[in-house]
Structure 1
């Protein structure tokens, strides 16, 4: 691990997240998740982490995303159809973790394509747009495979607001 990476993580905090996603952006992302979940039985969770805790610096980002997936209870939905979109801001690393119910329906390369789209938006400094595109991509998959029946309501099993660490 290089000193530059250590430095980025050592001094990363929620203020850096707020610099790229202000309160208004967070509100719009929350509403986008809420509107999506009104159309299908899946659950979408966003997590934006400024930097990794010291103990995680030598481990793969995917492991951290899996730990956050478990910690936030995304795996614990009734139909096993939760999806976590994880952004590690210090590294600009993106991971999408989908529960087994969703993974049965995701074609090979699906999440890689979503991540590539997000990465392009992030490179341009459009963090809200990148996360909104990810929500829309997850929504399309969940709507196709877990639609709500006419008049059916989706109980909100997880918070809709992005989780900031």
Structure 2
């Protein structure tokens, strides 16, 4: 158990997420998701969580493990073409994780997802949260468009509104 990490998560209050990700910023992120989804048949979700608390924190759950839990909880895996993608930010750890369903993950692979995460994390380190998220969504959308191009007006299977936890 990393005591410094616990401290960061206990100090990192949910108000900080709401200060950075204002309603206006969330609107911009939602529009970026909609614009991206106009180019492909995939489904993109963005979730930001200020800090872990309770059991996940004291069991030292990693950002990756938490992202997998959220991916399942939000049923992002339940898309018709197995092409749902979660972009997850754990603000207290300054860690971005991308979890992709097997249909798209088999084509893109972990290395390319990691490159997108690293780019977002660099923007976040510079304090450019909105820019980092929008650039990340655009990069994910480019991958989805390459393997799942838009074919007609398919249904929007998942909400486009970002989730703040």
Provide TM-score, normalisation by structure 1.
0.93
Bigger drift between 140-149 and 11-20 goes to 11-20
Aligned CA RMSD, in angstroms, stands at 1.4
Tell me how far 1:107 sits from its aligned partner. Answer: 4.4
2:55 aligned with 1:55, yes or no? yes
Aligned length: 163
The 1-side partners of 2:71 and 2:114 are apart by 18
Q: Which runs of 5+ in 1 are unaligned?
A: none
Match in the other structure for 1:65: 67
Larger proportion of helix: 2
| Residues 17-96 of structure 1 mapped to structure 2, 5 A cutoff | 17-57=17-57, 58-96=60-98
Task: Quote the residue 1:7 is aligned against.
Answer: 7
What does the per-residue CA deviation read over 1:13-43, in whole Å, with 9 as the maximum and x for residues that have no partner? 4321121121111100001101111221100
Q: Distance in 2 between matches of 1:159 and 1:107?
A: 25
Matched, 1:124 2:126: yes
Give the match's secondary structure for 2:16: helix
CA contact (8 A) 1:39 1:147 kept: yes
CA distance in 2, matches of 1:163, 1:90: 16
Secondary structure at the counterpart of residue 109 of structure 1: helix
Aligned residue in 2 for 1:159: 159
Task: Answer yes or no: is the 8 Å Cα contact 1:14–1:164 preserved in 2.
Answer: no
Moved over 6 A (4+): none
TM-score, with structure 2 as normaliser:
0.93
**Structure 1 stretch displaced more, 76-85 or 20-29:** 20-29
Once the two structures are TM-superposed, the CA of residue 75 in structure 1 deviates from its matched residue by 0.6
